[in-house]
Amino acid sequence: MPWDRNQMAARAAAELEDGMYVNLGIGIPTLVANYVGDKDITLQSENGMLGMGPFPFEGEEDPDLINAGKQTITELDRTAYFDSATSFAMIRGGKIAAAILGAMEVAENGDLANWMIPGKLIKGMGGAMDLVAGVGRVIVVMDHTNKAGDSKILRECTLPLTGKGVVDRIITNLGVLDVVDGGLKIVELADGISEDELRNATQATIVT
């Protein structure tokens, strides 16, 4: 059975190690915070915060304290605030160990598209281009195929790119793949998913 959203988030959380500073994108990546367990992870929110805490209790929301998804959040005992220039200084400067992001498409060379569908969706890239260009490791978490059943893991991206050759690892509902020389390598299969099932759902080149 393919992994559900929470299982994908849990699998992504397994990528994280003690002491890491990590940026989580919106969507499934946000759920990763629920699965870090005892690991000493510090979450960065690119609007100017390290040490992001959980959502506030009702009635305790502070309009001056939000995350990059504009949701009300809380602070922790390790929290530090800073301005947007400083926030992206640490992102571009490689101080963030990993970013876990959603995607529309990923290509076998590590190209990532997750910000724009020409003529349809023009919300903007936010901090995604800075993140994929700057952080130590880019992990994409997404469904393996789109609603029409087509592979989101492609030989070449068809949508405008967020970054070129930036993705290190892809975690989908079917398994885990790494971007390596010549294509993608299967690292792990979701429970009950066969290698053939994953290969059939993947347009990109899979190398062994």
Partner 1 sequence: MNKVYKTAAEALEGVLHDGMFIAAGGFGLCGIPELLIDAIRDAGTKDLTIASNNCGIDDFGLGILLQTRQIKKMISSYVGENAEFMRQYLSKELELEFNPQGTLAERMRAGGSGIAGFYTRTGVGTLIAEGKEHKDFDGQTHILERSIVADLAIVKAWKADDTGNLVFRKTARNFNPPAAMCGKICVVEVEEIVPRGSIDPDQIHLPGIYVHRIIQGTHEKRIEQRTTRKKESA
CB of 33 to partner 1, least distance (A): 12
User: If you search the block for the tokens 């393919």, which residue do you land on?
Assistant: 2
Comparison of 81 and 178: residue with beta carbon closer to partner 1 = 81
Comparison of 93 and 182: residue with beta carbon closer to partner 1 = 93
Q: State whether residue 177 is helix, strand or coil.
A: strand
Catalytic residue, candidates 15, 17, 46, 58: 46
CB of 194 to partner 1, least distance (A): 35
> Residue 44: how many CB atoms within 10 A of its CB?
26
Comparison of 48 and 203: residue with beta carbon closer to partner 1 = 48
> Cβ distance 28 to 102 under 8 Å?
yes
User: CA-CA distance, 16 to 35, in Å (whole number)?
Assistant: 10
CB of 182 to partner 1, least distance (A): 19
Active site residue 46: yes
> Residue 163: how many CB atoms within 10 A of its CB?
22
Write out the catalytic residue numbers. Answer: 46
